A and B are shown apart, each in its own frame.
Chain A
Amino acid sequence: MNSSAKLTPLHDRHLAAGARMVDFAGWDMPVNYGSQIEEHHAVRRDAGMFDVSHMLALDLSGAGAMPFLRRLLANDVLKLQTSGKALYSCMLNEAGGVIDDLIVYFISASEYRLVVNAGTADKDVAWMRKQIAAGGDNVTLESRRDLAMIAVQGPNAIERASRAIPELNTARGLPPPFSAVRLSDLFIARTGYTGEDGLEITVPAHRAADMWDALVAAGVKPCGLGARDTLRLEAGMNLYGQDMGEEVSPLDAGLSWTVDLRDDERDFIGRSALEAHGERKAFLGLVLEDKGVLRAHMKVVTPHGDGETTSGSFSPTLERSIGFARLPTGTQAGQAVQVEVRGKPLAARTVKLPFVRNGKILID
């Protein structure tokens, strides 16, 4: 381990469980606790959990919070009308590139919780502070490194989590999908990154290990970043830095549905660039028909021209290789293509995302 590596409040638990640790964006994180594929299946079939404390929670508050977020984010927080409701959005630069993708939770019009990626956290905070200085009146931003986050995911996640967290069994304990509730010092969201039902539990750092132990006792299987990656890939969810980044428009990364252009008056950062360029690439799933494994940055040959894979791996649910690709516009789902895998052209076809949702395979 690099001596300057950052450790989450659950680091000791990972070591005690015999996790294989890797560096992830400067954090010493578990990639698996044995078998990545078993962890993947645990989430699809039962319940697994991930330490996602390396991600950063930010509290944005003040009378100016709503207008500030309407300018900062490509999705429109005005959609959020019920306390606890969540929204997925990209935060763009002026050129329309993606600085980060994040989840924003609406507490009230003057109080929001944002959760941003680990690798981009410092950059995000700097960008937000710059925007606040440039005209975010009555806005306060607070980094919450005092919090830990545990994502419990899978068809039995809620039932098992309810055994560990009795408050979930109360009348307003369980939040509806894509919403969060505050239960004493916990912030519990019905969100995730796996395509399964589940909860993302934010807990004060000093109570994180106890929470982890209680979830283990309730039968939730610890899962590493390896399974997290194959689960999100099957679920058709983008990974920042891989499927999109500062040089990529959300319109070219399959994220048009998160860009809200309906309010003509809303001048969010990056809007004029997006409107000037429009969609320049098609973003689709790939299923490898031949034997082999797709990885990022492989050349994809289509009848409309060449494209490139942005993510790829072996799908434990489909038992074959899948990936995402940025392809020439006009490429549709169901197109036979060739992917250059280690120097050899292999047969693949394009599919609509996602591949898997709630345990079910959604492609042929």
Chain B
Amino acid sequence: MSNIPADLKYTKSHEWIRQESDGTLTIGVTDHAQEALGDIVFLELPEEGRSVEAGDACAVIESVKAASDIYAPVAGEIVAFNQAAVDAPESVNSDAYAAWLFRIKPAGEVSGLLDAAGYEAEIA
């Protein structure tokens, strides 16, 4: 059974989103996603300062099995990426919610995200 923390938001494309106190959003991939991908061996994350639209494929996660795109859940600007995850991609397998990938400063209202129950229904 996948771990789906109640305090996070989610997308149908298996990203998790945490609202930070400074208004930015931290993005990662869900436990369900890491399990489906298998051993993760490579991450390509967006550079700071890049503008993204909601739904943009802005990062790549590669497992031994396959490559998958990671989508920006909202429009905004990339303000950080997690170099530690790039250096140790397997950390996404060990704890998908600790190994965050990038942070976005949203351009406007954040909407259209799933809550934990909504995501659980999505992957059921």
Contact = CB atoms under 8 A, between A and B. Distances in A.
B39 A36 contact: yes
19 contacts: A31-B38, A31-B65, A35-B39, A35-B93, A36-B39, A36-B64, A36-B65, A37-B39, A226-B38, A226-B64, A291-B44, A293-B42, A295-B67, A313-B64, A314-B39, A314-B42, A314-B62, A314-B64, A342-B67
B38 A36 contact: yes
B38 A293 contact: no
Could you say which interface size class chain A belongs to?
10 to 19
B42 A291 contact: yes
Contact of A293 (B67, B90, B93): B67
B39 A293 contact: no
- Most chain A CB within 10 A, of B35, B65, B93, is at B65
Contacts of B64: 36-37, 226, 230, 313-314, 316
A33 to B, nearest CB: 11
A136 to B, nearest CB: 41
Interface residues of B, number: 14
B56 to A, nearest CB: 15
CB-based closest 10 A-B pairs: A314-B41, A293-B62, A37-B39, A36-B39, A314-B64, A36-B64, A293-B42, A36-B38, A35-B39, A313-B64
Q: Which secondary structure characterizes the binding site on chain A?
A: mixed
A215 B39 CA distance: 25
B116 interface: no
Contacts of B62: 292-293, 314
A233 to B, nearest CB: 10
Q: Which secondary structure characterizes the binding site on chain B?
A: mixed
A152 to B, nearest CB: 22
A310 interface: no
Interface in A190-242: 226, 230
A32 B39 CA distance: 10
Nearest to B42: A293
Contacts of B60: 342
Interface of A: 20, 31-32, 35-37, 226, 230, 291-293, 295, 313-314, 316, 321, 342
B67 to A, nearest CB: 6
A289 B46 CA distance: 21
B65 A226 contact: yes
Given A20-B35, A20-B38, A35-B93, 14 more contacts: A31-B38, A32-B38, A35-B39, A36-B39, A37-B39, A226-B64, A291-B44, A292-B44, A293-B67, A295-B67, A314-B62, A316-B64, A321-B42, A342-B67
Nearest to B86: A291
Nearest to B62: A293
Nearest to A291: B42
Contacts of B66: 295
Contact of B41 (A32, A226, A293): A293
Interface string B39-65: 101101000000000000000101011
Interface string B55-82: 0000010101111000000000000000
B66 to A, nearest CB: 8
Interface string B4-44: 00000000000000000000000000000001001101101
Nearest to A37: B39
Contacts of A316: 64
Nearest to B60: A342
A294 B44 CA distance: 14
A292 B42 contact: yes
Contacts of B41: 37, 293, 314
A31 B39 CA distance: 12
B19 to A, nearest CB: 31
Nearest to A230: B64
Nearest to B93: A35
Contacts of A37: 39, 41, 64, 90
- Most chain A CB within 10 A, of B38, B42, B44, B93, is at B38
